[in-house]
């Protein structure tokens, strides 16, 4: 039986709490200042924020107005879009450089999951809350995201932590790219 060839790991450096259920009064959480979180902590914070948004949607969907639901889904879609982009542009390439060849399938699977999540996000962006399947699509999106988060936090993040990767410097890069994307998207919405 042949054994997989192990490639050496390389050092790679490239590559909020919600207090109100009313969407119009929610404050947006700002990313921590430089050096406060490494890449994995920053991405995990994003996961928690999106999970809270999905929980808020689920608990309010029966009583919320269509406008409130759409506003909350727009925030979910924005957070997921920015998060997926910074992972794909910064985190995954750096992780690919640092991981062993036999570990790369984890990143391949994560990128495929991103594609499915992005498809649902795009569908929801074109829908209104009163349309058939709106709530169902939000629910399925939530389930896809939860599955993806479980795999990232349970497999990818520990594997990356064990790799020779400067997650502190990578955190600074992620934070900078996220701030840039949020600013760009806010200008587009204006």
Q: Name the region of 168 (left: φ>0; alpha: ψ -120 to 50; beta: rest).
A: alpha
Least reliable range by pLDDT among 11-25, 53-67, 111-125, 133-147: 11-25
- The confidence score (pLDDT) of residue 37 equals 86
Q: Give yes or no for residue 20 having a pLDDT over 50.
A: no
- 3-class secondary-structure state, position 19: coil
Of residues 19 and 120, more confidence is placed in 120
Q: Name which CATH class applies to 36-189.
A: mainly alpha
List the end-to-end C-alpha distance of the chain, in Å, as a whole number. 61
Are residues 103 and 159 in contact, defined by beta-carbon separation less than 8 angstroms?
Answer: yes
Are residues 185 and 78 in contact, defined by beta-carbon separation less than 8 angstroms?
Answer: yes
Alpha-carbon distance of 137 to 114, in angstroms, equals 16
**pLDDT grade for 186, boundaries at 50, 70 and 90:** confident
Nearest CA to 138 out of 83, 80, 182 is that of 80
For the chain, which residues make up each domain, given as ranges? 36-189
State how far the alpha carbon of 55 is from the alpha carbons of 44, 59, 68, 96, 120, in Å.
Answer: 16, 6, 14, 32, 18
For residue 122, count other CB atoms closer than 10 A to its CB.
Answer: 11
Alpha-carbon distance of 38 to 134, in angstroms, equals 36
Average pLDDT over residues 157-165: 94
pTM: 0.80
Residue 165 DSSP code: B
- The confidence score (pLDDT) of residue 185 equals 83
């Amino acid at each position: 039986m042949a054994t997989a060839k192990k490639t050496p790991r390389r050092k790679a450096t490239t590559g909020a709490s919600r207090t109100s259920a009313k969407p119009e009064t929610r404050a947006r959480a700002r990313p921590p200042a430089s050096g406060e979180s490494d890449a994995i902590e920053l991405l995990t914070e994003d996961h928690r924020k999106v999970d809270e948004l999905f929980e808020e949607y689920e608990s309010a969907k029966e009583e919320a107005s269509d406008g409130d639901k759409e506003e909350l889904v727009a925030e979910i879609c924005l957070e997921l879009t920015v998060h997926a982009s910074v992972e794909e542009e910064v985190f995954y390439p750096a992780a690919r450089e640092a991981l062993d060849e036999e570990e790369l399938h984890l990143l391949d699977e994560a990128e495929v999951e991103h594609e499915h999540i992005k498809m649902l996000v795009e569908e929801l962006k074109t829908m209104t809350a009163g349309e058939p399947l709106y709530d169902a699509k939000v629910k399925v999106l939530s389930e896809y995201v939860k599955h993806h988060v479980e795999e990232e936090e349970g497999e990818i993040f520990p594997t990356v932590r064990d790799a020779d990767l400067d997650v502190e410097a990578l955190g600074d890069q992620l934070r900078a790219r996220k701030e840039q994307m949020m600013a760009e998207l806010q200008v587009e919405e204006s």
